[in-house]
């Protein structure tokens, strides 16, 4: 079922017996169309073949709070851990190659997002931008090796690193003005890698920058954009969290008009909406409660991870067995 051209493939994921992932904040696909699921649970990185066959897992005991996963053009796997303020680079088999940030150490921004008090912070506590990292949220790696990191939960910046991990530039401050952020959450590069898309989640917009942080454009019309991914034909997919899941205490009450979580395809040149899908039945196949991570395979099939437990199931907003990972394909 879907409100648009994508249809969920029910039963795709062949998760080993007894395993579970109440939250899937990240998903990525490698050049061989293997799917890497970044989950909060006993097995953080779960790997599947394109048909959903289980292929292995790794990362057990490594991560504090998994958040985003990306695979670069060389096949290295980048994992963003907002709980311990790091971005780690691994081989496809899980061998650590590089760590950006110091595990367990948050930069000073006025927010508190470290250790036992991680769940007590609010993004409005961020008083000023700072050095890497304070609750990083996503990573984007270009073909020349440049690395961009959204430093979003306890900071309000995007950082650019060289291929060897040297910090080259940072930009952003907390606020609602042009170039400012309230949770820079998702990242993606344009097809020509000359522009960087930043999902500025709590400002309900996507900001478009050049690679030095110069603001080029702002696209509204999205509700709390979470994740970003380019399709094989160059469309930008945005997972919208909406206003019902993952709520802050000071948000407006939920009404019939409050947006549901959806996925939206945008023209990557203009930001115009091409298609939006998902329904008001969040646990139905092809719909979403808390769409978060997103990736495409080479055939254009779509993989969407959801933070179902953290964003509401733990409070009874949706059933605990509501889906956390879906594969969707174009309907015939």
Decide if pLDDT at 120 tops 70: no
Among 306, 294, 275, 288, CA closest to 230: 294
* Res 117 pLDDT > 50: no
Question: What integer is the mean pLDDT of 77-83?
Answer: 97
Q: What is the DSSP letter of 261?
A: P
pLDDT, average across residues 95-115: 88
From residue 259, give the alpha-carbon distance in Å to each of 128, 176, 225, 287, 328: 30, 20, 12, 13, 21
Q: What is the pLDDT, as a whole number, of residue 3?
A: 47
pLDDT band at 332 (very low <50, low <70, confident <90, very high): low
What mean pLDDT is predicted for residues 4-30?
A: 95
pLDDT tens-digit map of 22-42: 999 999 999 999 999 999 999
Query: What is the arithmetic mean of pLDDT over 256-270?
Result: 97
Confidence at 2, pLDDT banded by 50, 70, 90: very low
Higher pLDDT, 46 or 125: 46
> Percentage of the chain with pLDDT > 90?
92
Overall average pLDDT of the 239-254 stretch: 92
Distance CA(105)–CA(19), nearest Å, equals 31
**What's the CA gap between 178 and 173, in Å, rounded?**
10
Return mean pLDDT, the chain: 94
What is the pLDDT, as a whole number, of residue 116? 41
Q: Which residues, including other chains, have CB under 8 Å from residue 189's CB and lie 6 or more apart?
A: 140, 142, 148, 195, 196, 197, 230
> Cα–Cα distance between 187 and 165 in angstroms, integer?
18
- What pLDDT, on the 0 to 100 scale, is given for residue 115? 46
pLDDT, residue 315, reads 93
Q: Is the pLDDT of residue 102 over 70?
A: yes
**133: closest CA among 107, 104, 95, 164?**
107
State pLDDT tens for residues 173-195. Answer: 999 999 999 999 999 999 999 99
Could you read off the pLDDT of 275-287 as tens digits, one per residue?
999 999 999 999 9
Model confidence pLDDT, tens digit, residues 206-231: 999 999 999 999 999 999 999 999 99
Other CB atoms within 10 Å distance of the CB of residue 204: 18
> What pLDDT score was predicted for residue 248?
84
The whole-number pLDDT of residue 111 equals 87
pLDDT band of residue 240 (cuts 50, 70, 90) is: very high
What is the reported pLDDT for 331?
Answer: 73
The class (CATH top level) of 6-330 is: mainly beta
Q: What average pLDDT does the segment 66-76 reach? A: 98
Identify any residues that bridge with 138 across adjacent strands, giving them in sequence order. Answer: 150
Q: Is the pLDDT of residue 61 over 80?
A: yes
**pLDDT for the residue numbered 249:** 80
């Amino acid at each position: 079922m879907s409100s648009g051209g994508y249809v969920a493939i029910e039963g795709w994921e062949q998760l080993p017996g007894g395993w579970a992932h109440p939250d899937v904040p990240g998903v990525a696909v490698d050049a061989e169309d293997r799917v890497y699921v970044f989950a909060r649970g006993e097995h953080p990185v779960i790997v599947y073949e394109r048909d959903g066959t289980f292929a292995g897992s790794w990362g057990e005991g490594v991560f504090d709070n998994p958040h985003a996963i990306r695979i670069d053009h060389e096949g290295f796997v980048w994992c963003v851990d907002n709980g311990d303020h790091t971005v780690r680079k691994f081989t496809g088999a899980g061998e650590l190659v590089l760590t950006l940030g110091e595990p367990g150490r948050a930069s000073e921004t006025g927010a508190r997002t470290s250790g036992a008090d991680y769940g007590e912070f609010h993004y409005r506590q961020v008083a000023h931008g700072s050095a890497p990292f304070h609750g990083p949220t996503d990573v984007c790696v270009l073909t020349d090796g440049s690395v961009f990191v959204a430093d979003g939960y306890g900071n309000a910046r995007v950082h650019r690193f060289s291929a060897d991990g040297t910090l080259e530039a940072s930009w952003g401050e907390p606020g609602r003005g042009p170039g400012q952020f309230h949770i820079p959450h998702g990242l993606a590069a344009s097809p020509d890698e000359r522009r960087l898309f930043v999902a500025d989640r709590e400002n309900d917009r996507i900001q478009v920058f050049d690679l030095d942080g110069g603001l080029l454009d702002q696209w509204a019309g999205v509700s709390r954009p979470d994740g970003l991914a380019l399709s094989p034909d160059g469309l930008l997919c945005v997972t919208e969290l909406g206003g019902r899941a993952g709520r802050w205490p000071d948000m407006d009450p939920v009404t019939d008009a409050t947006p549901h979580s959806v996925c939206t395809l945008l023209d990557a040149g203009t930001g115009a909406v091409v298609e939006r899908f998902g329904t008001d039945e969040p646990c139905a196949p092809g719909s979403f409660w808390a769409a978060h991570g997103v990736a495409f395979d080479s055939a254009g099939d779509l993989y969407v991870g959801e933070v179902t437990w953290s964003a509401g199931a733990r409070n009874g907003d949706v059933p605990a067995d509501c889906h956390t990972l879906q594969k969707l394909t174009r309907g015939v």
